[in-house]
Amino acid sequence: MSDLTQRQTEILDFIRSQLRDTGFPPTREDIARQFGFSSKTGAQDHLMAIARKGFIELVPGNARGIRLLKEDELLLSHQFELPLIGSIAAGTPITAETNVDTWLRIDPELFHPRADFLHRVAGHSMKEANILDGDIVGIHAQDDADNGQIVAAVMPHPKTGEDEITLKRYFRRGKKITLKPENSAPAYKPLEIDLAPLEGDSQEQTPFRIAGVYAGLIRPRG
Partner DNA sequence: TTCTGTACTGTTATTTGGTACAGTACACCC
Partner DNA sequence: GGGTGTACTGTACCAAATAACAGTACAGAA
Binding site for DNA (CB under 7 A): 2, 5-8, 27-30, 32, 35-42, 44-46, 49, 53, 58, 60-66
41 binds, among its own copies, DNA, none (CB under 5 to 8 A by kind): DNA
171 binds, among DNA, its own copies, none (CB under 5 to 8 A by kind): none
Torsional class of 180: left (φ above 0), alpha (ψ -120 to 50), beta (otherwise): beta
CB 35 → DNA: shortest distance, Å?
Answer: 6
CB 45 → DNA: shortest distance, Å?
Answer: 4
Residue 118, classified by CB atoms within 10 Å of its CB into exposed (0-12), middle (13-18) or buried (19+), is buried
Other CB atoms within 10 Å distance of the CB of residue 28: 20
Q: Which is nearer to DNA, 34 or 178 (CB)?
A: 34
The radius of gyration of the chain from alpha carbons, rounded to an integer in Å, stands at 24
Q: CA quadruple 194, 195, 199, 201: dihedral positive or negative? A: positive
Q: Residue 176: CA atoms inside 13 Å, Cβ hemisphere, count?
A: 6
Q: Which residues does the annotation mark as catalytic?
A: 125, 168
Footprint on this chain of its own copies (rule: CB under 8 A): 19, 22-25, 27, 59, 62-68, 80, 104-107, 110-113, 130, 132, 138, 140, 149-150, 213-222
42 binds, among DNA, its own copies, none (CB under 5 to 8 A by kind): DNA
- DSSP letter at 16 equals H
29 binds, among DNA, its own copies, none (CB under 5 to 8 A by kind): DNA
CB 3 → DNA: shortest distance, Å?
Answer: 9
CB 135 → its own copies: shortest distance, Å?
Answer: 9
Other CB atoms within 10 Å distance of the CB of residue 139: 27
